[in-house]
A = this chain, B = another copy of it.
Amino acid sequence: MFNDGGKIILHRRELLRQVNHMKFASRLERLQDKALLNAMELTETKDVISFAAGFPSPETYPVEAIKESFIQVLELEGKEALSYCSTSGYVKLRKLIAKRMRDRFELDFKTEEIVITSGSQQALDMSGMLFINKDDVILFETPSYLGAVNALRAYEAELVSLPTDENGLIMDSLKQALDRYGERVKLIYVIPDFQNPTGRSWSAERRKEFIECISPYDIPVIEDAAYSELSFENRLERPLSFYDKKGQVVYVGTFSKTFCPGLRVAWLCAREDLMEKYLILKNAADLSSSAIAQRQMAYYLQKYDLDDHIKRVVGRYKERRDHMMRVIDREFPKEARYIVPGGGLFIWIELPEHKDSRILLNRAAAEKIVFIPGGSFYPSGVKNNEFRLNFSNMSHDEIEKGMTILGRITREYLAE
């Protein structure tokens, strides 16, 4: 089989223990936070009750419809579905997404302004790639999505935290940061709807103020809309992109939370001159996203009713939120404060300022209950008295049991 015909096994691995001093890129120094990786691993451990990761509920996945879609796609267009896709993505899927954004959010992105990405995570990574040089400043609404912090931290920017209240990003802090950092600000990252980790949404007023405030600048904004459709009261807000008259806002959407994450189908919308650059980066990053996953998704959107599916998903999550709120009200001490989230996947708990949620996590983990301590969600100016609870991924009984125990541990800890 081998050209030299020989069979000498070199036992390479046995010789591996030699000291080696490879050099790594400096960006690696900033990427030591493995909280998310660890959360995923904890979640995979069998008998742990996990409120950690932001996973949707697998019981909601429309497995039969997805199977039927794969069968049809492979029978009708198997060769195309197994080939490379164009870098921008399957055009029919992009058209369906454009239509859906128009129908649901009155957004009028053209097909040419949409690129399919491998999860919205890739859209965030590509945005760092496009806009960020070392020592640039990125402004984050905080607390913020850990995955965005990780993706953007890799580009060696200075990450600046902007505080929020129950109506969204605080405008004064945004104005101060724009004044203070001036031309160093190269990107703003926000999640206006049912955000991760707090579950809060920006008011319509705040959205308009935000666009007014930033439109004199030529700073791009990433609007992460991962949770936008998960409203428990069927009250959707108009996206920032709706108010944006300059094409300054880059909109990122995904099917991971409304449909399922295993296909890795998400999308990024940007005005055409930006899209041209995004496509160069997408091509360098992975050539294109999976053709078959995109065609499966397009088939599903045409033959099934995604809105109806989302209604059922949201109904399920609302039940779980309600249940979790009931157990919290019953079991948690009053000093643990929260705001009832109107949608999304998370509840955010605030302990008294001198308390540390990492201590709470250690004690909870000893009783096989996990969550993510709040410090992980701050790109800078870390606060440690908060934590995030996910309610979408655990059953009624697991919520009952896990939150009862966590309530007891919290009472004991706060009484110290």
Q: Which residues of A contact B (CB under 8 A)?
A: 1-4, 9-13, 15-16, 18, 20-28, 31-32, 34, 36-37, 40-41, 44, 53, 55, 58-59, 61, 63, 66-67, 70-71, 74-75, 78-87, 106, 108, 110, 118-119, 121-122, 125, 129-134, 147, 150-151, 153-155, 183, 186, 203-204, 218-220, 234-238, 241-248, 256, 260-264, 271, 274, 277, 279-281, 283-293
The 8 closest A-B pairs by CB, nearest first: A63-B78, A58-B79, A82-B262, A262-B291, A82-B260, A67-B74, A15-B245, A122-B286
CB pair B130–A34 under 8 Å, yes or no, is: no
Q: Which residues of B contact A31 (CB under 8 A)?
A: 280-281, 284
Q: Which residues of B contact A219 (CB under 8 A)?
A: 22
Separation of A1 and B102 alpha carbons in the complex (Å): 13
Separation of A242 and B13 alpha carbons in the complex (Å): 10
Q: Which residues of B contact A32 (CB under 8 A)?
A: 280
Integer count of this chain's copies in the complex? 2
Partner of A248, one of B10, B20, B106, B264: B20
Please name the residue on chain B nearest to A14 by beta carbon: B245
Q: Which residues of B contact A10 (CB under 8 A)?
A: 242-243, 245
Q: Which residues of B contact A261 (CB under 8 A)?
A: 82-84, 291
Please name the residue on chain B nearest to A203 by beta carbon: B3
Q: Which residues of B contact A287 (CB under 8 A)?
A: 119, 121, 147
CB pair B129–A283 under 8 Å, yes or no, is: no
CB pair A235–B3 under 8 Å, yes or no, is: yes
Q: How far is the CB of A98 from chain B (nearest CB, A)?
A: 12
CB pair B290–A264 under 8 Å, yes or no, is: yes
- Would A25 and B130 be within 8 Å (CB), given that A10-B242, A82-B63, A285-B125 are in contact? yes
CB pair A245–B82 under 8 Å, yes or no, is: no
- Would A24 and B277 be within 8 Å (CB), given that A36-B283, A264-B286 are in contact? yes
